[in-house]
Chain A
Amino acid sequence: MRKEIQLPLTKEQAKTLKAGDMCFATGVLYTARDAAHKRMYDSLLNGEEIPISLEETALYYLGPTPAREGNVIGSAGPTTASRMDKYTPLLLGKGVSAVIGKGKRNEEVHRAIKEHGAVYFAAIGGAGALLSKCIKKAEVIAYDDLGTEAIRRLEVEQLPVVVIIDTMGNDYYEMVEKE
């Protein structure tokens, strides 16, 4: 099914999404990939503050290319999500309601998604030029020293994403494999 969704994604809206739904997402999300995940994770384990609120937050696994003059951002597609598997259950436990990446997730992430009523979406890998057109505003808000891996606040319009793991724990990649 084709659906329009708002980011940040409320847990209420998350429940209405099913594995395989093609969604067009509009609103606010935050970029974080390997290094930003590790830093947030370590801070949380040490009981320290982190620079963004995770309550019903959407995270996009993205490290963009630098923006040319006049552009909001450079190429901006998803990176492989499984590298974030180690950190994801903790972040979901702190309230993250949507994560966007590409590729398979492990058992722990499946369990945590179900437990916390979150959704894992995939964006099209390798379509960074096309996806950059959906990003209307981008601003580095934390971990500036990480360069491309810094946390950015993005405002997006009609970002195309597919529900891979829904709140019930159904996995669209597994459904396709069984076809």
Chain B
Amino acid sequence: MIREIDVKLLTEEISKLCIQATHFLSQDMVDAFQKAYEKERKPLAKEILSQLQENLSIAGEDMIPICQDTGMAVIFMEVGQDVHFVGGDLYEAINKGVAKGYTEGYLRKSVVEDPLLRVNTKDNTPAVIHYSVVPGDQVKITLAPKGFGSENMSKVYMLKPADGKEGVVNSILDAISAAGPNACPPLVIGAGLGGDFELAAKMAKHALTLPVEYHSPKEHIAEIEREVFEKANQLNIGPAGLGGDTTVLAVHIESFPTHIAGMPLAVNMCCHVNRHASVVI
């Protein structure tokens, strides 16, 4: 049975998600801050964590975006194969939603029309859209506004099979060390392991949308997540890069089969403002 969905509905929902994601973090992120605050031993780091918690409260109460970099809108569209979109062009409807959300929500317009000519598009469009087709007749939209302070510190490594688990752990830790204070720690790390060059990067971005407490169902991958988490928090980068026990709040790795000759690894950095919001239509 084909289900018809009017694309105007998507425009409305996406506009709401833009405002929600930039003003409120998900509860698991709020809890992660509290847990980090309780564990942190360095006084200055504790003070900064408490200021970041206060920042979250102010953002929600006064409707001031958590961070002034309200990001480029990254959208994961999981479209049920029994869905038929009607009422207009899907791509346009999605971008209309982004434009509406960023304009009506007093969000910053941070997108330029051309990477070299750099003229602002003034409504934060276009969004970066990743589509996947899944069974069913529903559409799940996940919107993750991505700030570029942390995006700029992200990396793709084309590791060799011989690099093994150690190579994966060390590469992620190297990326975290290189990011240092620039990416606004404490960080959330999204990694994509396997697949090919671009799938690794896409998995890394998607991994940032996973709940803090979620771990890979593959035990050997979950082990890497835990090891990177422990070791990263011994790097003494700390909140705002001023030292401390809290350098990362979460580490997530998504993996996919890969080629006999390779082991791509992408590391997508996210600052402590790890924003994402979803809706199912």
Contact = CB atoms under 8 A, between A and B. Distances in A.
A77 B152 contact: no
Contact of B182 (A64, A76, A104, A124): A104
B180 A126 contact: no
- Residue among B52, B122, B181 having the largest count of chain A Cβ atoms under 10 Å: B181
A126 B63 contact: no
Contact of B242 (A76, A79, A147, A176): A176
Contacts of A104: 180-182
Contacts of B69: 63, 77, 79, 128
A80 B51 contact: no
Given A102-B181, A133-B58, A179-B236, A80 B152 contact: yes
Contacts of B273: 126
A102 B150 CA distance: 12
B272 interface: yes
Contacts, number: 140
B106 A125 contact: no
Contact of B184 (A126, A173, A179): A126
Given A75-B64, A176-B236, A65 B58 contact: no
Given A62-B68, A68-B63, A162-B242, A127 B55 contact: yes
Interface in A31-73: 35, 62-68, 71
A10 interface: no
A15 to B, nearest CB: 22
Given A65-B106, A75-B64, A75-B65, A124 B181 contact: no
A127 to B, nearest CB: 4
B106 A148 contact: no
Contacts of A170: none
Contact of A35 (B67, B118, B236): B118
User: Could you say which interface size class chain B belongs to?
Assistant: 35 or more
A103 B180 contact: yes
A102 B184 contact: yes
A76 B54 CA distance: 15
B68 A128 contact: yes
B155 interface: no
Interface in A10-39: 22, 35
B59 interface: yes
B181 A103 contact: yes
A147 B109 CA distance: 8
A65 B118 contact: no
A82 B182 contact: yes
Contacts of A68: 63-64, 106
User: Could you say which interface size class chain A belongs to?
Assistant: 35 or more
B108 interface: yes
A103 B241 contact: yes
Contacts of A130: 51, 54-55, 58
Given A147-B122, A173-B241, A128 B65 contact: yes
Interface in B29-79: 44, 48, 51-52, 54-56, 58-59, 62-70
Contacts of B152: 80
12 contacts: A65-B106, A82-B182, A102-B181, A103-B149, A124-B51, A125-B184, A127-B67, A128-B65, A130-B58, A148-B110, A176-B236, A176-B237
Interface of A: 22, 35, 62-68, 71, 74-77, 79-80, 82, 102-104, 122, 124-130, 132-133, 146-149, 160, 162, 172-173, 176-177, 179
Given A63-B110, A102-B149, A173-B180, 16 more contacts: A65-B65, A65-B106, A74-B64, A80-B149, A103-B181, A126-B147, A127-B55, A129-B55, A129-B59, A130-B58, A133-B58, A147-B120, A148-B108, A148-B120, A176-B243, A179-B243
5 tightest Cβ-Cβ pairs between the two chains A and B = A103-B182, A125-B184, A130-B55, A75-B68, A129-B59
Interface of B: 44, 48, 51-52, 54-56, 58-59, 62-70, 106-110, 118, 120, 122, 147, 149, 152, 180-184, 236-238, 240-243, 271-273
